[in-house]
Amino acid sequence: MANIVQFDNVGLRYGTGAETLSDLSFSLMRGQFYFLTGPSGAGKTSLLKLLYLSQRPSRGQIRMFGEDLVTARRDRLPAFRRRIGVVFQDFQLVPHLSAFDNVALPLRVSGVDEREIAAPVREMLAWVGLEDRASARPATLSGGEQQRVAIARAVIGRPDLLVADEPTGNVDPEMAQRLLHLFDGLNRLGTTVVVATHDLHLLSRIGTAQMMRLDRGRLSDPTGALRYPPRPEDRSNAMKGSS
C-alpha cells in the first residue's frame, strides 16, 4: 500500500510565536481511514490545514501524491487541491449559491459536463437528507443542514484524500452515523480519509481505522492501531479474569 502523504520533521509557526506543530513525521497510506484526536488547542485544525494546502510548513518536508509540496511551484497547487475534499469546521459554503450549486461546485471546477452533474448531486443531497432543500441558500439552512451540504460537496468528486474537521459536530447521532457510513463507503472505494473529532463514540465505528493523537502540537500516536475506551462489559470481564 503506497503512501499518499509523507511528513518529515514538519513544523508550523504562526508569526514569531512558539511552534503550533513540532517535529511531525508520519505517513498516510492510500485507502486507509484515520481519526485525528487530541484536546482543544492541540493543533488538529492546523495539521488539517497543512493536509489541504491552506498553509505551508515553517520547516520540514511534505510529499503528497508523489511530489514535494515545499518546493512545488504555486501554479501546481490548484491541481493538488482538486484531488482533496475538505469538510471545514465553519462549512465555508458560497453564500449566493444554492445547496445544489454548492455541492456541484467541485464537479464544475473539474470540467464535468453539465449534463452529467444533476444526477450525482441530487443523489448526494438525498443521501444527506437534503433533497427537499436543493434550492435553498446557506443563510436559510440550519447549522446542521449547512454541515451536511459541506460534506456532500467534499465527497461528490470522490477525492483521493478527504479531510474533515469535526464533521459530525452539528448533527444528531443518527445523522452522524449516516455520515460516517458515507465516509466509510468512500474509503472502501480507495479514498484516504482523515477525520478530526472529539467524539470518542465515533472511534469504534470504523474497525480498520488508525488513530493519530496530537498533544501540544506533537503527534503522540502516529501509527498505532485504533484504540478506544473499553466498554463496561469488557472492564467487567477483565476484572473477573483477574480475580
CATH of the domain at 106: 3.40.50.300
In a domain, 84, yes or no: yes
> How many structural domains does the chain have?
1
Residue 63: its pLDDT value, please? 95
In a domain, 102, yes or no: yes
In a domain, 16, yes or no: no
Q: Which triple of cell numbers denotes residue 114?
A: 453539465
Residue 234: its pLDDT value, please? 40
Integer CA distances (angstroms), 119 to 4, 101, 103, 111, 114, in order: 30, 13, 12, 16, 10
Residue 15, C-beta contacts closer than 8 angstroms, at least 6 positions apart:
none
In a domain, 210, yes or no: yes
Residue 221: its pLDDT value, please? 56
Residue 1: its pLDDT value, please? 62
Residue 237: its pLDDT value, please? 46
In a domain, 71, yes or no: no
Half-sphere exposure of 96 (CA within 13 A, CB side): 0
Residue 101: its pLDDT value, please? 98
Residue 221, C-beta contacts closer than 8 angstroms, at least 6 positions apart:
211, 212, 213, 227
Q: Which domain holds residue 147?
A: 31-48+78-220
In a domain, 11, yes or no: no
Residue 114: its pLDDT value, please? 94
In a domain, 157, yes or no: yes
pLDDT averaged over consecutive 10-residue blocks of the chain (243 residues)?
A: 90 91 94 92 93 94 92 87 91 97 95 95 93 97 92 93 90 85 90 89 80 90 42 42 43
Gap between the Cα atoms of 158 and 150, Å rounded: 14
Contact of 107 with 157, CB cutoff 8 Å = yes
In a domain, 142, yes or no: yes
